[in-house]
């Protein structure tokens, strides 16, 4: 379940709202185990989580999507740039 804010009802140019993704959604996006996600996060290889409440954490959707876009993904032996 995503948690979105509307910037307290104010319209801000460029970023009208920010959504936070909970851990199950992040794990689906990234496709790794919970342990791997935590290792990457603590090693600085993944965006940091935000405390949303006393027992709730989430990641900014924009940061996760930017992280995914910046990853070099190998598909059928070729990287995103076309190099083998």
pLDDT digits (tens, 9 = 90+) for 24-42: 999 998 999 999 999 999 9
| pLDDT at residue 20, as a whole number | 94
What contacts 27, CB < 8 A, 6 or more positions away?
33, 34, 37
DSSP class of 4: E
Q: Decide: pTM greater than 0.85.
A: no
What distance in Å separates the CA atoms of residue 43 and residue 46, rounded to the nearest whole number?
8
What distance in Å separates the CA atoms of residue 77 and residue 84, rounded to the nearest whole number?
6
For 5-27, write each residue's pLDDT tens digit: 544 444 455 555 789 999 999 99
Q: What's the mean per-residue pLDDT of the chain?
A: 80
**Where do the structural domains in the chain lie, given as residue ranges?**
3-70
3-70 adopts what CATH topology?
Multidrug-efflux Transporter Regulator; Chain: A; Domain 2 (1.10.1660)
Cβ atoms of residues 58 and 52 within 8 Å: yes
| pLDDT at residue 26, as a whole number | 96
Name the nearest CA neighbour of 4 among 15, 17, 16.
17
């Amino acid at each position: 379940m995503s948690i979105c804010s509307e910037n307290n009802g104010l319209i801000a140019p460029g970023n009208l709202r920010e959504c936070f993704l909970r851990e199950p959604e992040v794990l689906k996006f990234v496709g790794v185990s919970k342990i791997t996600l935590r290792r990457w996060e603590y090693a600085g290889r993944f965006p940091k989580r935000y405390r949303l409440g006393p027992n709730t954490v989430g990641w900014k959707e924009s940061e996760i999507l930017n992280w995914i876009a910046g990853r070099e993904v190998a598909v059928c032996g070729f990287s995103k740039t076309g190099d083998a």
